[in-house]
Amino acid sequence: MSDQDHSEALLTFFKALADQNRLRIIGILAQEAHTVEEIANMLEVSVSTTSHHLSRLAKAGLVSAIPEGHYYRYSLHTDTLQEMSQRILSSEVLPKLHQQLSPLSYEEKVLKTFLNDQGQITAFPKAEKKFSIIVHHVFKAFEKGKIYSGQEVDEILLGYSDDTASLRRALIEYRLMDRSKDGTQYWVMADAV
Q: Is the pTM of this model over 0.85?
A: no
Cα-Cα end-to-end distance for the chain: 33
Among candidate residues 26, 2, 20, the one with its CA nearest the CA of residue 85? 26
Class of domain 105-188: mainly alpha
Whether the predicted pLDDT of 88 surpasses 80: no
For the stretch 36-68, pLDDT in tens is 999 999 999 999 899 989 988 998 889 999 998
Same fold flag, 3-97 and 105-188 = yes
Q: Where are the domains of the chain?
A: 3-97, 105-188
C-beta separation of 37 from 69 below 8 A: no
Topology adopted by domain 3-97: Arc Repressor Mutant, subunit A (1.10.10)
Among candidate residues 176, 126, 183, 125, the one with its CA nearest the CA of residue 154? 183
Q: What is the DSSP letter of 191?
A: T
| pLDDT band of 192, cuts 50, 70, 90 | confident
